């Protein structure tokens, strides 16, 4: 059974008193390495007309082409693919001062059929490398020249370019997920075993399907489940070890018709539902109306006219009914909506009810455009033909799939914008009001464990990134001391979260309005690169930011 979870921020991590960033002209140390003329970063993937679609552009364009092995402490060596399908290494560990940087060296050569390489480090000595066409390789990185441990060709499953999305190593097993596009977007989850003689063997394949390319995919560190954030819902389609059982579609709730001489007419406004029943006789009758939060029951004498579940929730305390015995002879039931502004396409969705019609001229008339905008469907859904029905696939869901049962164990609707994602550790930065909240994805080992937790807040980052129309990369280091936005070319914007004012020369800093001493301030740095080529890759660490262009590497000490 799917457990719905909301993104509830930790209040202690929110700063309601944050008053913005101060633009500073303090210089940051910068270094650069100009590559030799014959060394260039790999070209962007060329998409044919049959693949030039929303999903392909989202999945294969504007990828981060700079890599770092974060499993090695105090190691800042960087890697990238060049145009000759080689993996180049920039040695930064042996020269921590960055004063005399050496030219990149080749650590591994891929085949000439490589389309667009991607890699993910899964330990201090292992890396997954994808050739962009059909091959996934496992390499050992202990030596200056990387050693091939295993090659797997998925050619029989693939008909389009592929991209390595995530990979982990856990207790003698290696897991990798590659994404590709066929009739739908597909995620191929491959599991490898490592034998006693270090022999690597593919033992399991699993495939998930969805309509839109995912915004985020991450395998749990224990290899038990996978998280997917995407527009619309993904589902398991194939498992080479365990049969994927097709889910029985849930039975559509129906309203059983009660044969009666009575008839109701209903209408709605932005905040209430009104049901009218004509009392056509002058004889004495015993009417009984019972109103609950999601259920309505109405009867006359011993005859039940309505006993059904309502389309939406209501507030019973604010709801009422009245019987008028004059010229109209009418029973009027007024239901107060719990979700003010929501639209009801019908009154009842399950149970028993006499026949009724919508009062077309009873639609809300109000001068408040905000309220009327909420009512976007002024019709009864029962009047639609099958071809008129539609589903909203634009909602973004974060779902946790169990790798064995194939069921969605946890799920949440992401109402706000995903600003960026990271894989080590797996996390999402989601906009919350003006801030950017960092949510860590957890490996669940007990029933009471949360699938995601609010780890940190980037103050006002949701606001500042919205003004950067030419933004390409957004990132933050593991200590969240700053956030960074890069344009597609030239400009970088660094937002330091807190800098102690004790480091500032002169007297103590005070707020001019309140007179309160300010202990720390947030700073903004704007940096212009000397190279005007497109920014192809970006890595942020706690001390440095690394920027890759076609023929040059920039280092900024933060």
Structure-token pair, residue 163: 């991209």
Is 264 within 8 Å of 354 (Cβ atoms)? Answer: yes
CA–CA distances in Å: residue 170 to residues 162, 187, 221, 357, 505: 24, 20, 7, 60, 50
For residue 383, give the 3-state DSSP assignment.
Answer: helix
- Spell 229-255 as b/e; 16+ CB within 10 A means b: bbbbbbbbbbbeeeeeeeeeeeeeeeb
Question: pTM of the full predicted structure?
Answer: 0.74
pLDDT tens-digit readout, 501-526:
555 555 455 555 565 655 678 999 99
How far apart (Å, rounded) are the C-alpha atoms in residues 58 and 212?
Answer: 9
**Predicted local distance difference test score (pLDDT) of residue 251:** 72
**Predicted local distance difference test score (pLDDT) of residue 372:** 39
Fold of the 264-354 domain? Immunoglobulin-like (2.60.40)
Domain boundaries, the chain: 1-34+419-557, 39-245+393-415, 264-354
Structure-token pair, residue 168: 């982990």
Per-residue confidence of the chain (558 residues) as pLDDT tens digits?
A: 678 888 989 999 999 888 889 999 999 999 999 999 889 999 887 777 767 788 888 888 778 999 999 998 888 899 999 999 999 999 988 877 787 889 999 999 999 888 889 999 999 999 999 999 999 999 999 999 999 999 999 988 787 889 999 999 998 999 999 999 877 899 999 999 998 888 999 999 999 999 999 999 999 999 999 999 999 999 999 999 999 988 766 677 789 999 988 999 999 998 999 999 988 766 778 889 999 999 999 999 889 999 999 998 999 999 999 988 776 788 999 999 988 878 888 999 899 999 999 886 544 444 444 443 443 444 444 444 433 333 356 789 999 999 999 999 999 999 899 999 999 899 999 999 999 999 999 998 887 788 999 999 999 999 999 999 899 999 999 999 999 999 998 899 999 987 665 555 554 555 555 656 556 789 999 999 988 899 999 999 999 999 999 999 999 998
Is 441 within 8 Å of 426 (Cβ atoms)? Answer: yes
Is 128 within 8 Å of 138 (Cβ atoms)? Answer: yes
Phi then psi dihedrals of residue 121, to 5 deg = -80, 130
Is 310 within 8 Å of 295 (Cβ atoms)? Answer: yes
- Which residue shows structure tokens 């839109």? 212
How far apart (Å, rounded) are the C-alpha atoms in residues 216 and 403?
Answer: 17
Angle at 512 between CA 509 and CA 517, to 5 degrees: 35
Provide the terminal-to-terminal Cα distance of the chain, rounded to the nearest Å. 47
């Amino acid at each position: 059974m799917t457990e719905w979870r909301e993104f509830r921020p930790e209040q202690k991590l929110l700063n309601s008193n944050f008053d913005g960033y101060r633009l500073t002209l303090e210089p940051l140390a910068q270094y650069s390495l100009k590559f030799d003329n014959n060394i260039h970063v790999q070209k962007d993937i060329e998409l044919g007309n049959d693949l030039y679609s929303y999903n392909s552009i989202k999945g294969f364009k504007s990828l981060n082409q700079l890599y770092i092995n974060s499993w090695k402490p105090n190691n800042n060596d960087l890697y990238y693919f060049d145009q000759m399908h080689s993996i180049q290494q920039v040695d930064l560990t042996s020269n921590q001062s960055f004063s005399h940087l050496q030219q990149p060296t080749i650590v591994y050569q891929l085949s000439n059929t490589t389309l667009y390489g991607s890699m993910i480090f899964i330990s201090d000595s292992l890396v997954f490398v994808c050739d962009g066409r059909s091959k996934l390789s496992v390499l050992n990185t202990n030596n200056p020249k990387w050693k091939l441990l295993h090659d797997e060709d998925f050619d029989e499953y693939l008909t389009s370019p592929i991209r390595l999305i995530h990979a982990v190593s856990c207790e003698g097993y290696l897991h990798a997920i590659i994404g590709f596009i066929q009739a739908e977007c597909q995620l191929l989850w491959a599991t490898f075993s490592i034998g006693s003689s270090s022999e690597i063997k593919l033992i399991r394949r699993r495939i998930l399907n969805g309509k839109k390319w995912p915004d985020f995919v991450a395998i749990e560190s224990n290899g038990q489940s996978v998280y997917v954030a995407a527009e619309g819902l993904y589902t398991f389609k194939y498992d080479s070890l365990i049969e994927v059982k097709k889910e029985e579609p849930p039975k559509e709730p129906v309203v059983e018709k009660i044969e009666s001489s009575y008839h109701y007419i209903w209408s709605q406004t932005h905040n209430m539902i009104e049901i009218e029943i004509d009392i056509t006789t002058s004889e004495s009758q015993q009417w009984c109306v019972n109103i609950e939060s999601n259920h309505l029951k109405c009867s006359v004498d011993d005859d039940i006219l309505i006993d059904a579940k309502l389309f939406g929730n209501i507030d019973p305390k604010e709801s009422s009914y009245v019987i008028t015995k004059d010229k109209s002879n009418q029973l009027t039931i007024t239901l107060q909506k719990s979700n003010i502004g929501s639209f009801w396409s019908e009154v009842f969705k399950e149970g028993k009810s006499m026949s009724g019609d919508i009062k077309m001229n009873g639609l809300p008339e109000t001068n408040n455009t905000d309220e009327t905008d909420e009512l976007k469907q002024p019709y009864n859904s029962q009047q639609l033909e099958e071809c008129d029905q539609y589903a909203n696939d634009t909602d973004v869901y974060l779902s946790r799939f169990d790798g064995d049962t194939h069921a969605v164990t946890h799920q949440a609707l992401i109402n706000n914008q995903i600003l960026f994602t990271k894989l080590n550790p797996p996390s999402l930065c989601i906009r919350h009001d003006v801030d950017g909240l960092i949510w860590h994805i957890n490996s669940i080992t007990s029933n009471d464990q949360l699938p995601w937790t609010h780890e940190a807040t980037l103050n006002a980052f949701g606001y500042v990134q919205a003004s950067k129309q030419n933004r390409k990369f957004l990132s933050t280091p593991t200590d969240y001391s700053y956030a960074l936005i890069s344009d597609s070319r030239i400009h970088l914007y660094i937002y330091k979260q807190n800098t102690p004012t004790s480091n500032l020369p002169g007297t103590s800093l005070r707020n001019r309005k309140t007179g309160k001493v300010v202990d720390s301030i947030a700073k903004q740095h704007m940096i212009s690169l000397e190279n005007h080529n497109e920014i192809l890759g970006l890595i942020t660490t706690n001390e440095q930011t690394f920027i890759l262009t076609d023929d040059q590497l920039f280092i900024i000490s933060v």
